[in-house]
Structure 1
Amino acid sequence: MTQQQSYDLIILGGGAAAFAAITEASSRGLSTALVNTGLPLGGTCVNVGCVPSKHLLALAETASTPAHNPFDAIKYTEGEPSVNWEAALDGTDRLVEQFRQENYVSVAEHFETDIYEGYGRLVGDTTIEITDGEDEGSRIEGEKALIATGSSPQAAPIDGLDSIDYETSETILERRELPESIVIIGGGYIALEWGQILHRVGVDITILQRSERVLSQMEGQLGREIQRCFHEEGINVITGTNFQQVRSKSADTGVTDTETSVVVETTLDGKNRQFCAEELFVATGVKPNSENIGLDIVGIETNERGSIVVDDHFQTANPDVYAAGDVIGKPELETVAAKEGNHAIKNAFGNEGKTIDYNAVPAVVFTSPEVAAVGTTELEYMDEHGTCSCRTVQMEDVPRAKAVKDTRGLLQVVKHHETDEIVGVHMVGPRAADMIPEATLAVKFGLTVDDIIDTIHPFPSFSEAFKHACQAFRRDTSTMSCCVE
């Protein structure tokens, strides 16, 4: 590539937001260039997030199936399954490479986007300089610029943490051998998904959460239910912990005990507790990749978390620079990043005024059972209106769940107390990720509970739980036959 190139659009970052942007830019006949920094092309989701974790969740679930067989007619006589973790990661790597090639590299080639590899930083309003890497020394400039640099794992400020080695959702994918035991610090979706993966492939797992429940940003019933399910599966989940210190076992004895190499000191219910394991996994959130990319040079502001400040149309304080994806903050979701990247280009080059209603964005935790939610929680509604009209059904009352002998979970509907419009749906259960789109449409378009009741659902299906929760506003569902409308 030449030393200096000009384009209509230049992008700093190579993930979902970036590729949604180049797709929209191509439809408008715009020339584009992308500087890929950090992870390989495709960003977090394809390389170290959604794709590898969901692949390994499915693998781990298959491995655990004999131990959780609910049918008396089926017996297993060969004992627990054996999992070859190195082979599992080799298969994950092949899958990631396939996704990267088909969904990113080939797409960039199709849209004739120039890819520059290396660390990029803004040196002018819409000029990016590559400061190291394969294309070090190159400069690209554009009419508009998009910052889509994503996020990285962030460690909580716990005494001693910076002096020991620990795993994250990125580094664990490089481990070809697993320890016997791991303590996980954190109670969000990364901690839960990876906790279940590692437990099901044979690692002794303890999850430590600072707040009183896991998934503390979601509806309270969800965290309590998934915690109950984890305990039944044999995963130790401890909440309400006040972290005091993390240290190496060798700090006491001078000799490393391979069975208890890491000690996490906490206070729990006013008492000092120690949790020991061979290794530590930190899953305490992410931080935006906004440092050292030249934001101050072009007058772009960040908030206290380091997220780039944008308006409702994804425009920064510099009118020629837009930002999208994890680097602008929550919710850090691949699909949201893609929508933001698409809208940023429509606004930058078409002045279309595109925005996103973040209240209608679904969130999913791909554990078993799955957790899914959209819209307002019961507590949020109570805080705003001083009352709440909510109904919850247990999966054990849903015919499909009883038929397949998987009755874990629940589903709650929050409706407006005057209009009956559905404002929130929160669920734990099998296939919750596939059930949440219907609820998302209900929240997005202001459907009422009667609209859902009047919609025929297939029988028997898990999706009937949503309908049953809506029917609970109108009748006593305990005296209802399977197919009553």
Structure 2
Amino acid sequence: MDKTVVIEPFDEHNRAVVSNGHPPDWVNPAPTGRYNLVVIGAGTAGLVTAAGAAGLGAKVALVEKHLMGGDCLNVGCVPSKALIRASRAFADVRDAGSIGCELAQAFRRFGSKVHLIEALGQILIREDRDAAVVIEKQFAREGIEFSCNHNVIRVEWRGAEKVVFTECDCHKGGLAVDAILVGVGRAPNVEGLNLEAAGVEYDKKAGVKVDDRLRTANPRIYAAGDICSAYKFTHTADAAARIVIQNALFVGRKKASALTIPWCTYTDPEIAHVGLYEKEAKEKGLEVDTFVQEFKDLDRAILDGESEGLIKVHVENGTDKILGATIVARHAGEMISELTLAMVGGLGLKTIAQTIHPYPTQAESIKRVADAYNRTRLTPFAKTALGSWLRWNR
């Protein structure tokens, strides 16, 4: 590990982070013999791979040039969620009501005036339109301004201020700000690895090229995590690391394409999603039935004062097979796992409808959707047959 690790600003809090992730008295061990596995990078994928393989008896070396835990633990998803939680508490005390939206809301709740600029037609462009509208309305209530279909063309310094110039349909304008936060995604960190010498193919934007078993062009080298995945989430890196352990050390045939990956945007309310969006399902040639439960009709959401949410579940037409789902709720990230488990286990809405959910809870919305599916099974013929049976049994 590098002995000059610093996180700016290097105050008492960041010094504590560095001392935990890179202890000042740490001495790198001398290599001893041949290893079963060498792991480069101690982010989520690296830590899970190293710990998992060592737990199975493999001799493992872990190499990290910066901080143990990687971006997620030290400067990414963990501290950002702490910031969001702190801003929520601050807003509640004052009786006030993916990265850009999360932090826009957090900074607004800390008292900053925030203007969100998006080049495409809506915020959270990847998400279901109905879900994005809920967040847009919440942002408007909180006083967050946002401009969609605007491209940033340049930034100028004017004294202590910065001026962001944007363009929309040939109309140009400038916005004076104190600070600019750019949340346009991540680039894989492949610098300094000399991958060419190892025969590993990569792209500077897309990252290391791997097959479905996460093997690189060099079959003795595997990759996992943000460096090779289109789904740049900590939990995806964890799952990919488990695939690498099995495929690299044992007779493994596990495939990344078999993963069912949920994700969550930590605005307030949150948006959580798993599986296919309706548009994606139709692009794959699937006929889709969609069931929606709005939280304005859900008792617990009304009691909580959180009635702006919704759940939307897509099933294959004529079946109860779940293709995808979106939840908008304050704790949507906690709720999406029930639907993820159902998809992984091959359980449909029929089974969920038979599952008792505690009342009153927001998770009851999932059962409401399943009940809505069940009602579609009551065809006119079935209604007639049931009516005849009941009349006969009077």
Q: Give the TM-score of the pair, scaled to structure 1.
A: 0.68
1:294 is aligned to 194
Post-superposition offset of 1:306: 3.8
Note closer, same or farther for the CA distance 1:207–1:473 as it changes in structure 2 (3 Å cut): same
Post-superposition offset of 1:428: 1.0
360, 369, 376: which is aligned to 1:460?
360
Secondary structure, aligned partner of 2:35: strand
467, 471, 476: which is aligned to 2:371?
471
Please tell me the root mean square deviation across aligned C-alpha atoms, in Å.
Answer: 1.9
337, 340, 352: which is aligned to 2:237?
337
Note closer, same or farther for the CA distance 1:437–1:207 as it changes in structure 2 (3 Å cut): same
1:355 is aligned to 255
Counterparts of 1:424 and 1:298 in 2: how far apart (Å)? Answer: 39
Which residue identity lines up with residue 39 of structure 2 in the other structure? I
Counterparts of 1:36 and 1:437 in 2: how far apart (Å)? Answer: 32
Q: Could you report, residue by residue, the CA deviation over 1:387-423 in whole angstroms, capped at 9, with x for unpaired residues?
A: 4311222111111000111112211110010322111
1:23 is aligned to 51
| 2:76 matches 1:49 | yes
Which residue identity lines up with residue 118 of structure 2 in the other structure? Q
Note closer, same or farther for the CA distance 1:47–1:447 as it changes in structure 2 (3 Å cut): same
1:266 is aligned to 166
Q: Could you report, residue by residue, the CA deviation over 1:195-237 in whole angstroms, capped at 9, with x for unpaired residues?
A: 1111111111111111111221222222222122111111112
Q: Give the 5 Å matches for 1:118-129.
A: none
2:144 is aligned to 235
1:279 is aligned to 179
Q: Could you report, residue by residue, the CA deviation over 1:302-337 in whole angstroms, capped at 9, with x for unpaired residues?
A: 146241111111111111111111000220111111
Post-superposition offset of 1:358: 6.0
Q: Give the 5 Å matches for 1:102-113.
A: none
1:221 is aligned to 130
Which residue identity lines up with residue 369 of structure 2 in the other structure? A
State the structure with bigger RCO (CA 8 A, min sep 6), 1 or 2: 1
CA contact (8 A) 2:225 2:240 kept: yes
Counterparts of 1:194 and 1:69 in 2: how far apart (Å)? Answer: 17
Aligned residues: 348
Counterparts of 2:259 and 2:53 in 1: how far apart (Å)? Answer: 27
36, 40, 65: which is aligned to 1:12?
40
1:137 is aligned to none
1:382 is aligned to 282
Secondary structure, aligned partner of 1:316: coil
Which residue identity lines up with residue 224 of structure 1 in the other structure? V
Post-superposition offset of 1:343: 1.6
Secondary structure, aligned partner of 1:22: helix
Secondary structure, aligned partner of 2:202: coil
Note closer, same or farther for the CA distance 1:194–1:5 as it changes in structure 2 (3 Å cut): farther
Note closer, same or farther for the CA distance 1:69–1:306 as it changes in structure 2 (3 Å cut): closer
CA contact (8 A) 1:415 1:423 kept: yes
Counterparts of 1:410 and 1:28 in 2: how far apart (Å)? Answer: 43
Q: Could you report, residue by residue, the CA deviation over 1:429-453 in whole angstroms, capped at 9, with x for unpaired residues?
A: 1210110000111222232221111
CA contact (8 A) 2:188 2:204 kept: no
Which residue identity lines up with residue 135 of structure 2 in the other structure? I
CA contact (8 A) 1:408 1:430 kept: no
2:92 is aligned to 65
Q: Percent identity?
A: 30
Note closer, same or farther for the CA distance 1:14–1:386 as it changes in structure 2 (3 Å cut): closer
2:222 is aligned to 322
Counterparts of 2:230 and 2:258 in 1: how far apart (Å)? Answer: 9
Note closer, same or farther for the CA distance 1:468–1:420 as it changes in structure 2 (3 Å cut): same
